[in-house]
Chain A
Amino acid sequence: MKVKILRQVTPVSEPYWEGFNYDGPPDISVAGLLDHLNYNDDIVNDEGVNTTRIGWECSCLQGVCGSCAMVINGIPALACETFVRDLKGNEITIRPLRKFPVIHDLITDRSSIHENLKKTNIFIREWQQSEDKDHEHQYLAAKCLKCGLCLEVCPNYVNGQTFYGAVFANDCYLVSSRNRNKISEIRKVYGEHFGGGCSKSLSCVDVCPMKIPTLASMSKLNRR
């Protein structure tokens, strides 16, 4: 099986594609595949030339930390939860998330997610029970990994601009449902940075590894 990876040495260098051969079993995650390529003795590309190890980010390796978000066969996904056996065709393409600056190979700088939440004061501070008693919804919203997959797939999100995407909408919901005193403040920033810019393609819902009901978050925040 061919594996094509979009690589980039430094944040400012040119990206380039490099191919690898994988002849191991298909019952392996893409994270496992990357480890296999990197540490199965020397790393050799598909032209038989020794090359450098592929940079990628991981921590939990079981879908709860969001580190290994990347684009696999055109679909944004977590590498540790995507299995070779489920991918179609004889070639796998892997590239870093496009909506964020590349640090090295498949490692991207997603700090803009946190920065956007910080500058709009998205924090609870004091739990004050609101009318929304949908505990399950709040629990799911708080499971957000900040992995950036929802932003990668979003047609409206551009890094550095004023539309902050589904990750922002869900945190807005979480704060407003946990602190009733912040509802009007949250609705205001939600309107400025999400409500007005979302074209409702809802592709964010499909790629969310935590299955957060973004549509329900939007519906509650839009309600008057």
Chain B
Amino acid sequence: MKDVLVIGSGISGMSCAVRCAELGLNVTLVSPFPSERAQSVMAAGGINAVLEDNGEGDTVLCHVEDTLRGGGYLSSEEEVKGLCERSGEILRFLERIGTVFSVDENGKTAKRAFGGQSHKRTYYCGASTGKQIVSSLIMEVRHFEAAGKITRRLWSCFHSGLILDGVCYGALIYDETTRKLETIYADAVVMATGGQNTLFGKTTGSTQCDGYAQGQLFRQGVELKNLEFIQYHPTTLVTGQKNMLISEAARGEGGRLFYMENGKRVYFMEDKYGEKGNLMTRDVVSREMFLVNKDIWLDVSFLGERLIRRRIPEVMELCRKYRGIDISKEPIPVTPSVHFFMGGFAVSLDHETNIRNLFAVGECASKYHGANRLGGNSLLAAIYGGMKAAEEIAGRAGDDKHPDFSGYAARQTQVLEEKGKTESRFPVAYIRDLLAETMQKDLGIVRNEESLDNGITDVDYYLENADRIQYDNSVMTYFNYSLTGILTLARAVLTCAKNRRESRGAHYRSDYPEMKEEYASSTIISYDDGVYRTRPEGNVGTSINTERCI
């Protein structure tokens, strides 16, 4: 193969582009905005890796077991092994290209402990690991740009795939500067478009990650997987526009969650789970907060200003800046928020979807995290997925011929033009807001059959009307045409959640609170002209029994 189209320029897209270029392929890297604007820059925590000289008895198998266990054994050993086996190589790659990792007193790359892991293996760059990795990857991409192997295209939004008879030949791209659709043919297309924040309105993530690509390609026959597994972060600070993440470090340093009753503080997590109750996993804390159903605060003030400034300065600054709260004197009002999507495109070990030559990497793909993700594994998976897809693409023979999609492109241009002619009283933003309200209400931390049915009824109604909503010409055209794809994805997420009648990982059903053996498999969902079908993947994971890792 020669020409690769990578759609999305965050960490996974850039990782794929770089590996493709290293292997001699020509890459077109498409995104509406530069890589600095990608959600990847918001990843704070770190990246997991097992290095040979870790000195603490950690092994790749321990990392595999921790990942499988954290994910409720929905992923297979084979796929997770692939990820973990190359973690050391990935860390060395990031160091080589100049990522400014934090170092310990001896000048060695520093690591920290993260929840749910048997060993300390999370390498980090202060409180901005994602940003530091983005900066070094941008430089590496820039090198290949200067060498003519990677071409960046900005202001370019994904419209649809060029797919015929189960094979992908490229993509239709909307250029916001020329305001035209453009056909880009490629030997392989790699989707790296991130998660699905827009479905829920306010989340901890970027406004640019909306799930449209997943929804649109799903409509074109691409299968999706495990959409019901959505990770909530228990402690976020709500502002008018988003939910800002209050790092787990605040609880790690001793932060205590409480609500007020009869003028007294009730430390509900400690009451229920003992001394370490505040440090329970994200899904458990979020669920307890939901069940308490009261305003909840996180108190770190007892640490004192000096310690707070030294240990969690970014939390102090964030609360001061966005809500005027001095956390050394008063508690932080916290709310659980949608944070990460374990589900996405169903992909093979090589990150190919069920459509030949169409690949997916990063958060938009579902592969390693099962029913819940370990901290530090998302950055690792983003880089690994990008590399893996690139290596598979480079090893394949290309085909210079492709079908002619000019008729398809002309029809889509006509659709956009017709919709753009009339202004509407109900712009797309109105439906997007309604969708977010529905999803927050009916697909929350705790779900049940009734709420999911209500959600499905509402989203079906929005979908019926989506084609009648006229486009708002004063916003980006992408913002308009993305509506149907986003709604379709939301409908698919609700369907997956309805059909999993058990509780596992991040998916909790109040009407089916137990984990059931019959559901010990990933969910695959497909679409056929308005019909949504789910089936088990049949790829059941098990514990690999590495006793040293428990």
Contacts and interface: CB of A to CB of B under 8 A. Distances in A.
A62 B472 contact: no
Interface in B395-453: 425, 427, 429, 433
A22 interface: no
Interface stretch (B45-53, B141-149, B275-283): B141-149
Nearest to A9: B474
A174 B100 CA distance: 10
Nearest to A57: B33
A188 to B, nearest CB: 16
A52 B36 contact: no
Interface residues of B, number: 54
B244 interface: yes
Contacts of A28: 240
A139 B34 contact: no
A103 B155 contact: yes
B122 to A, nearest CB: 17
Interface in B361-400: none
Interface in A127-147: 127, 135, 138-139, 142-147
A114 interface: yes
B429 A39 contact: yes
B96 A67 contact: no
A62 B473 contact: no
A169 to B, nearest CB: 15
Given A53-B472, A146-B36, A59 B100 contact: no
Nearest to B427: A53
A63 B476 CA distance: 22
Nearest to B204: A62
B131 interface: yes
A114 B154 CA distance: 11
Nearest to A101: B177
B532 interface: no
A122 to B, nearest CB: 7
B97 A125 contact: yes
A60 interface: yes
A55 B475 contact: yes
B140 interface: yes
B95 interface: yes
Interface string B35-55: 011110110000000000000
B142 A117 contact: yes
Contacts, number: 138
A3 interface: no
B140 A32 contact: no
A60 B139 contact: no
Contact of B146 (A29, A42, A60, A119): A119
B136 A65 contact: no
Given A35-B241, A60-B41, A62-B322, A127 B97 contact: yes
A185 interface: no
Given A64-B128, A142-B136, A144-B135, A124 B100 contact: no
Given A52-B473, A53-B472, A64-B128, A123 B139 contact: yes
Given A39-B429, A111-B154, A145 B36 contact: yes
B132 A142 contact: yes
Given A35-B241, A64-B128, A122-B142, A114 B34 contact: yes
B207 to A, nearest CB: 6
B454 interface: no
B548 interface: no
Given A52-B474, A59-B33, A64 B98 contact: no
B97 A32 contact: no
Given A55-B475, A59-B206, A139-B126, A126 B96 contact: yes
A121 B142 CA distance: 8
A59 B37 contact: yes
Interface in B156-192: 176-177
B113 interface: no
Nearest to A142: B135
A224 to B, nearest CB: 24
A81 B152 CA distance: 29
Contact of B475 (A53, A63, A138): A53
A156 interface: no
A66 B475 contact: no
Interface in A155-212: 174-175, 178-179
A183 B140 CA distance: 17
Contacts of A60: 37, 39, 41-42, 206
B137 to A, nearest CB: 10
Nearest to B143: A123
B37 A66 contact: yes
A182 B100 CA distance: 17
19 contacts: A28-B240, A53-B474, A55-B475, A57-B37, A61-B239, A62-B318, A64-B41, A65-B38, A65-B41, A110-B34, A118-B142, A118-B146, A123-B143, A125-B98, A127-B98, A135-B100, A143-B128, A143-B135, A174-B135
Given A42-B425, A146-B36, A178-B100, 14 more contacts: A11-B177, A39-B433, A64-B41, A66-B37, A81-B321, A110-B34, A114-B34, A118-B142, A138-B100, A142-B100, A143-B131, A143-B135, A178-B98, A179-B98
